[in-house]
Structures are given as structure tokens and as C-alpha cells.
Amino acid sequence: MEFLSFLIRRILWSALVLVGLSMVIFFIARVVPGDPARMALGPRASAEQVAALQASLGLDRPLIEQYQLFLVGLSQGDLGRSLLTERAVNDDIRETFAATFELVCFTVFLAFSLGVPLGVVAAYWKDRWPDTAVRIFAILAAVTPSFFLALLLQLLAGYVLHILPTTGRLPHEMEFVAGTTGLMLIDSLLAGRLDVFGQALRHLLLPGIALAAATMGQMARITRASMIDVSRQDYIEAARAFGVPEFLRVTKYMLRPSFVPPLTIMGLEFASLIGGAFVVELVFAWPGMAAYGIRTILQKDLNAVMGVVMVSGAFFVMVNLLIDVLVGFVDPRVRIRGRR
């Protein structure tokens, strides 16, 4: 029961944050010097053309009204029209979001499932060679810019060793349209095409590793610190005094309370993951939101840019909500008190 009220509180809060986000984005876009219509049409357009575009974009109405229109459109899922592609921004984004989403999900999976065990190993063998190795890895991973790592991986695995593909989601020759979920891995399984699944996975590996490395390192460090912290707690010493065997102390008593910091940090890391995804997508020619976002930015296609920002922001908020819920599930103190 207390879990339910905890859940509801978190959801309401996330909704509020999204509204706030929409306000910030909107006002940045509108309240800045420069005329979007003029920028879109270029210096050679006539005054009437500019005025017409302004009217169609609703730029001549008062600011508050513009915001209302924006919110209404937003709540209906309408992000406006892109000046560049002249299609609904919705359609543009829908096509590209799935690719980004799949990449990011795969990355999170890699980062967590590899990073946390590494941290546990490092904590258990503290100050001995496994610990040093993990820490070196974590530091190097954290300081290497993701685009640089992407380039290096491309160079190494693609050009030098020729073992993994370097661009795109599937080989050029392969025909497959990700229909149902937009996620190659899932759709290919649903369609029973194991060959597609295999290729999709191969194509995900390099960009996934490039993107996940830094976060993996962070996960390892945080888990290690958290495990060490927990190992110093009185209750672990108490368990030792009662003769609970070491194996159990580590795998049960220390592990569970240690999960919370890496989970929480994962939520914060997510912001840099979304940003990093942009860069990695470019290097690997991954057909995600990044290419679309960059193009529309350089062309000052405001509706599109706002769409991309809103979607990224919403994605971020959703993930953090999910993480909050997971944390509440693992740690009863958070459920009951709202904090540790």
C-alpha cells in the first residue's frame, strides 16, 4: 500500500517536471532575438512570404497564446511541422526515435550488466590486482570522449580487424523493415528472422560499446564505492559476529543495499547517454534522432528542434521515474520515508 502512494507521488512529480521542461524549451525558442520565419525562408524571401509563414506558425499571436497552442498540440501529440522536411515533426521523429531508443536501451543493458559485477569484483578484491584493473578501466572509460572511442573502435574492429560492421543497423543488402516496435532486435525475433536478429546484434555492438563504456566505468566505480561503504557498516560487522558466513555476507547482505547508488547514478548518467548517443550515431551513421537533430539545428528548424528536445527530455524523465520506482522497490526506507 505504501508502495502505491510512493508510486503516485513520483508519477505526479514527473508530470510536473515535463510541464516545466516544455515551458523552458518553449520560451528559449520564442523569446530569443531573431525571426524564425525569416530564418527559415532566407534573406531573399519577400516580406509577404515571411508574414504569411509567421501567420501560419502563429508567431503573430501573443506569447501566452502561442504557449497554449503549443501545450494543446503537445498534449495531443502534435509537435508541429518541420520547416525543413515539410512533414509533421511527429512523423520525422517517430521514424528516427526507435533507432535511438534501441541503441540507448542496449547501452544501458551493457553498462549495468557489465559495470555492476565489475564493481563487486573490485570491491571484494580491494587493493589487489582485480581492483586496480577495474579502476584503471573505469577511469580510462570515463575520460575518453565517446566520439573518440567510437572512432577508435571503428578503426580497430572495422578497418583493421574486419570483424564487426561499422555503419548502419543492418547490412545494406539486407531487407527488413522494423515494423511492430521499431526495435530491430525484437521485431526480427517476432518475425522469426534469426538472420536479421544476428545482423542487428552485430551492428549494435560497436556503437553500444562506444556509448556504454563511460557509463560502465561509472557503474563499476559507484558499485565498488557502495559495496565498500556497506562493508563498513555496523550491520555487516554484526552479521560477522553472529557467524554468518562470508559468502552470504557478500552476496546477500552487502549486495542488496549496495544496489541503490548505482541505480540512482544510472538515472543521472542517462542525461549524458542521450547526449553521447548523438555523437556516436553520427560516427556510425546510425539512423537515429541525432542526424535529424543536427540538421534541423543548423537550419534553425525550430519546431523540429523543440520536438527533438522534448522527446529527449521526456525520455529522460520517464527513465528516471522508472529508476525511482526500482529504488523504492529495493530499499524499504525509500518507500516508507521517501528518502534513505
Site for other proteins in 112-141 (CB under 8 A): 139-140
Q: How far is the CB of 20 from other proteins (least distance, A)?
A: 4
Residue from 12, 15, 24, 163 binding other proteins (CB under 8 A): 24
Residue with grid cell 532575438, as numbered in its chain: 33
Q: How far is the CB of 101 from other proteins (least distance, A)?
A: 14
- Name the residue nearer to other proteins (CB basis): 94 or 240: 240
Q: What is the dihedral of CA 118, 231, 239, 338, to 10 degrees?
A: -90
Contact between 143 and other proteins per CB under 8 A: yes
Q: Which of residues 287-306 bind other proteins (CB under 8 A)?
A: 293-294, 296-298, 300-302, 305-306
Residue from 207, 276, 288, 328 binding other proteins (CB under 8 A): 276
Do 210 and 103 touch, CB atoms closer than 8 A? no
Contact between 9 and other proteins per CB under 8 A: no
Do 331 and 113 touch, CB atoms closer than 8 A? no
Binding region for other proteins (CB under 8 A) out of 83-91, 97-105, 116-124, 146-154: 146-154
Do 263 and 326 touch, CB atoms closer than 8 A? yes
Q: Which of residues 240-259 bind other proteins (CB under 8 A)?
A: 240-245, 248, 252-253, 256-257
Distance CA 306, CA 329 (A): 34
Residues 6+ apart with CB under 8 A from 191: 176
DSSP-assigned states of every residue in 90-127? HHHHHHHHHHHHHHHHHHHHHHHHHHHHHHHHHHHTTT
Contact between 71 and other proteins per CB under 8 A: no
DSSP-assigned states of every residue in 150-175? HHHHIIIIIIIS--S--SSSS-TT--
Contact between 228 and other proteins per CB under 8 A: no
Do 206 and 166 touch, CB atoms closer than 8 A? yes
- Name the residue nearer to other proteins (CB basis): 58 or 198: 58
Residue from 53, 184, 206, 279 binding other proteins (CB under 8 A): 279
- Name the residue nearer to other proteins (CB basis): 18 or 185: 18
- Name the residue nearer to other proteins (CB basis): 4 or 32: 32
